[in-house]
Amino acid sequence: MTRYAVGIGARTGVRADAVRALLDRILTEHALDPADAVFATVAARAGEPGLRDALGSDLTVWQPDELAAEQVPNPSSRTAVAVGTPSVAEAAALRTARTLPGATGADLVVPKSVGDGVTIALARPVVEPP
């Protein structure tokens, strides 16, 4: 069962080992199992070999305007110029968490963390009790 969403932003040419290193660090720090996650990014980075090598082909892809509609705590003008949205990692995590079964909202539990050419954020779905 998917319990959280991982948003991933990356520079062009990001290495798979850099993606894995940051992801492993964050998941270990928060005692999370990658099998409980869904991964997401922006369309402009979805074909990056480093992301695909690190995560496989099961990657939720959002358009820049979809991500730009998300309210995030750490927007970046540099990211907006590069990919058309001021946030990839945080926005993708929040937007994806809202799409998980039973979700009525999303909470950002790990704001964007920066690695070597990669940023990662985590969000959990808000699920109202029945």
- Domains of the chain, each with CATH number or no CATH: 4-126 (3.30.420.180)
Tell me the average pLDDT of the chain: 94
pLDDT tens figures, 49-108 = 999 999 987 899 999 999 999 999 999 999 999 999 999 999 999 999 999 998 999 999
Identity of the residue numbered 75: P
Q: What pLDDT is attached to residue 1?
A: 59
At 50, list the tokens: 């480093």
What CA–CA distance (Å, rounded) separates 35 from 68? 28
What CA–CA distance (Å, rounded) separates 81 from 96? 22
What CA–CA distance (Å, rounded) separates 53 from 41? 14
Closest by Cα among 11, 19, 12, 6 to 111: 6
